[in-house]
Structure 1
Amino acid sequence: MKKALVVDDMMFMRMTLKNTLEKNGFMVAGEADNGIAAVEKYKELQPDLVTLDITMPVMDGLAALREIKRLNKDANIIMVSALGQESMVMEAMQEGAKGFIVKPFKEDQIIRAVSKFV
């Protein structure tokens, strides 16, 4: 079973992502609520997939993406963004993100974004 790390500063969003991922072939091995915690959890867990919110306190998702990609250039990272963050999503894709999910999301969006990593 593939391991996932879910990163979002809002617990409700983490729970939604976690439940959807677990119903679709992933084991959510960890969660984080900011970019620094995400990088530490990534080092510890070495997950197969990371869902990474763009806007978070302490360290935002773009900075965390860069750090994780430094640790593992092949890391599978799906960015999670709110409407209106298109420029940040494009930057994340240029930095190596493998996809994105737009909030508020529906289960089928999440499944489509992560299906190639199951």
Structure 2
Amino acid sequence: MATVLIVDDAKFMRMTLANMLKNTDHVVVGEAENGREAVELFDQLHPDIVTMDITMPEMNGLDATKQILKRHPKAKIIVCSAMSVQKTVMEAIEAGAKDFIVKPFDESRVVEAISRVLS
């Protein structure tokens, strides 16, 4: 069983991801609506995996990913974004993301990405 932190500024997207994970062995332990919150919650919760949106207020997902990985080098982060342009995907991977999921979410792709990153 893996613990998951969902980070997205849109409540609907957090709900969508949480609902997809309800049918798996994974447990959502926290939700953040911006990058700053994500960093704070990661420090408190130490989840097994993070789903991270890119475009958010206060701190974007790429900066949050870098901060979390600076403090916790073994953190596993999957970036989720509607921006699937090559440059964005490369920036996410360079920041340390283990995978990239394009919105709108495909449930099987989400579950598969989480399983792959955890193994």
Give the Cα–Cα distance (whole angstroms) in 2 for the partners of residues 84 and 78 of structure 1. 13
Question: What is aligned with 2:61?
Answer: 61
> For structure 1, which segment, 19-28 or 39-48, has the greater mean C-alpha deviation from structure 2 after superposition?
19-28
Structure 2 residue 30 is the aligned partner of structure 1 residue 26: no
Determine what percentage of the aligned residue pairs are the same residue: 49
CA RMSD, aligned part only? 1.3
8 A contact 1:3–1:48 mirrored in 2:
yes
Q: Secondary structure at the match of 1:9?
A: coil
- Aligned ranges 1:1-118 → 2 under 5 Å: 1-116=1-116, 117=118
8 A contact 1:7–1:53 mirrored in 2:
yes
8 A contact 2:30–2:41 mirrored in 1:
yes
Structure 1: where are the runs of 5+ without partners?
none
Structure 2: where are the runs of 5+ without partners?
none
Q: Match of 2:44, as an amino acid?
A: E
- Stretches of 4+ aligned residues off by more than 2 angstroms: 83-86
8 A contact 2:78–2:97 mirrored in 1:
yes
Residues 13-36 of structure 1: per-residue CA shift (max 9 Å, x gap): 101111112311111000000000
Deviation at 1:76, TM superposition (A): 0.5
8 A contact 1:81–1:89 mirrored in 2:
no
